[in-house]
Amino acid sequence: MENKNLKFNIFKFAGVGVLAILPFFAFAQMAIDPVFNPNQLISDTAFSDTQTFGGAAGIQKFLEIKGSVLANTDPSFLPNLKEPNAILLKQALDDPESSLPRLRTAAELIWDAAQSTGLNPQVILATMEKEEGLVDQKYGSAAAQQTAIDHAMGFNCGDNVSCWNLFPGFYYQLFGNLDSSGNRYLGAAKSLMKSFNTSGGRGPSYNGSVSQVGQTIILDNTMGGYDGVTAQENVTLANNATAALYRYTPHVFNGNYNFWKFFTAWFKYPNGTLVTLANGTNTYIIEDGSKQLLLDFVAQARGLNTSSKITLSPNEFADYPTGDLYAPVDNTVVQTPDGKDYVFLNGVKHPASAFVISQRGLSAATALSVNASDASLFATGTILPPKDGTIIRGAVKPQVYLVQNGEIELYSAYTFAQNNIKPKQIVIVPDDEIGTYTQNGFVPPKNGSLVKTAGNSTVYLVQDGLKHAVIADIFKNQGYRQSQVGTITSDEIGALPTAAYAQPKDRTFFAVDSKTGSLYEFKDGVTHPISSFVAKQRGITPDYVFSTAVFVEWYTGVPVPPRDGTLVKGDKDATVYLVKNGQLAGLSAAQFKAGRYSAKKIVTLPQAEVDSYAKANAVTQ
């Protein structure tokens, strides 16, 4: 677990105090696995293999097999992951799905964090288990479960101290955060990869310098849980991945041993290993901690040599839960004995016409023959339309559609004109075939469109297929003009999901309801609270007053700090901080004296206000 801002540190490196933490769940005294090698916890190749699981769906299946609390995809659960609705904030954090118009599942967030940083999602899951037990553990209360979710990677927390304020929330643990000055703080995934990608590796500080691969260092252990654990242990850092893991958690027991234990138990055989049960006839393939039945035609489609499979004992075989049936790669064309053609996508076989197969650049002539029994094991999906992005219409009916995500969306007169569709772009498809495709509403107006319906004054901003109501003050604040507002039908406006109110432009200062006196700055898609002291010191007054109903739909971030150079302390803690680059840096007595600071200049603020500000020694980019 990575921890910052501690008064008493076991190690000190890169200006960051780090204490390792024992997971909250207890183990009975157990023997240490003799296979464990503390010098190499995981190979570099495995650590940076971003393609394990094959996608978010593979992670979701793994979580479901494990019975994890993170397998919950119910819309009522997803807000617990605390994904912000601030697109600009997510873009600044290199979130690859910053504009996705919905909340993501835990599996999707893990996958996206892995892809954006280069970290194996299996490493993320093993870390979440060793820190908070989020894969295999159960919780006694909803509050305990939420606490575990909020500190999923154990990032920015430590022994016997509270967690700091920048990373509480599943999303922020993975992706990091921004403070009100625009300083970016790395989340757990990018922090691990920063150490991994440092030339020579970046381990814990030892004897006054950052350790590197090949060096032998002495680490303190946390005691309990295993027989024969010594208070200290010599470790020779064998590779970059091991250096990164020890920098993140600077002890062998119990943290990194538990990481190794979970990772090895779940992912012993590399993905793609073909196995069979002793005296068994079926072939299975190991994929992300589960065994999946491999049919002969799938092996043929994927070019797999089933003669190379490994024979497992019954115990080894039972250690791997049975996952989904292993499917052909996407766009594999197969033909059943009744002469019907199907195209596989995401493990589902879709009926497809000769026209669609050809239009997608595939060939029915090379289709694999599949017996009815094997074909029936795979789910049958909807009839496959032309490839995404194709604009189609029937030979007789005038409606024009866009193929998107395997479904068709209807162009209205407004969106048809807005996209400047030319006749040569339109592909003619038999009307009866169009009738077999799955229709999903309308093509949404382009991002940034301002629209309304006839006879209704409410103006909406369209962004990523969602509509955001634009109140009068925001319309004025953004400098919009009535000539920019288009008129669409009530059916079109109704088809657009409603999202939060449209936001003001950057550097807007506003109050929330004139009676409350609460003051905020809007910046980077996030509202930043401003205390009465900071407002007075910086001379900030509100330009607008927004209602609570509007404000509560915007994400609230880290507060605006006092001016650089200000000395502050809380009314319940003697620690003195210097504001520098928008962050609070704690000063030791020696630093205070060396800087010739005056005690008369120290401003005492409510402790909660001081605690809420970003601290300078968190991990930044």
Tens of pLDDT, residues 397-428: 999 999 998 999 999 999 999 999 999 999 99
Q: Using the 8-state DSSP alphabet, how is residue 365 labeled?
A: G
Q: According to the model, what pLDDT value does residue 72 have?
A: 97
pLDDT at 170 over 90: yes
**Confidence bin at 226 (pLDDT 50/70/90):** confident
pLDDT tens digits, residue range 482-513? 999 999 999 999 999 998 899 999 999 999 98
Burial of 595 (0-12, 13-18, 19+ CB in 10 A): exposed
Q: Is the pLDDT of residue 24 over 50?
A: no
Asked if residue 164 lies in contact with residue 132, where contact means CB atoms within 8 angstroms, the answer is no
Mean pLDDT of the chain: 90
Interstrand relation of 232-236 and 274-277 (parallel, antiparallel or unpaired):
unpaired
Mean pLDDT, rounded, for 269-286: 91
Confidence band, pLDDT 50/70/90 cuts, at residue 17: very low
Alpha helices in 93-218 (DSSP H): 106-117, 121-132, 142-150, 170-175, 188-197
Residue 557's pLDDT is 85
Report the amino acid identity of residue 437: Y
Above 70 in pLDDT, residue 28? no
What sign results for the dihedral spanned by CA atoms 429, 434, 437, 439?
positive
**Digit-coded pLDDT (tens) for 204-217:** 999 999 999 999 99
- pLDDT over 80 (residue 449): yes
Nearest-angstrom CA–CA distance, 109 and 289: 19
Position 578 confidence tier, pLDDT thresholds 50, 70, 90: very high
322 Cβ contact list (under 8 Å, min separation 6): 290, 291, 292, 293
**Which residues, in sequence order, are bridge partners of residue 207?**
none
CA atoms in the 13 A half-sphere facing the CB of 16: 26
Which one is predicted more confidently, 400 or 88? Answer: 400
pLDDT at position 464, please?
83
Burial class (CB in 10 A: 0-12, 13-18, 19+), 79: exposed
Q: Which of 82-91, 228-237, 266-275 has the highest mean pLDDT?
A: 228-237
Question: Which comes out higher in pLDDT, residue 558 or 491?
Answer: 491
pLDDT-derived band of residue 312, with 50, 70 and 90 as boundaries? confident
Q: Are 313 and 303 in contact (CB under 8 A)?
A: no
Q: Would you state the pLDDT for residue 621?
A: 46
E strands, 454-594, in order: 459-463, 466-470, 485-488, 508-512, 518-523, 526-530, 544-546, 567-570, 576-580, 583-587
Phi, psi of 357 (to 5 degrees): -60, -45
Q: What whole-number distance in Å separates Cα of residue 242 and Cα of residue 47? A: 9
Tokens describing residue 85: 């609705």
Q: What is the mean pLDDT of residues 288-307?
A: 94
Per DSSP, the residues of 195-207 read HHHSTT----EET
Question: pLDDT per residue over 54-68, tens digit each?
Answer: 889 889 989 998 999
Look at residue 21 in the predicted model and tell me its pLDDT: 37
In the chain, what are the domain boundaries? 11-265, 274-319, 449-495, 508-551, 567-612
pTM above 0.75, yes or no: no
CA 510 – CA 373 distance, rounded (Å): 66
Q: Tell me the residue type at 565.
A: G
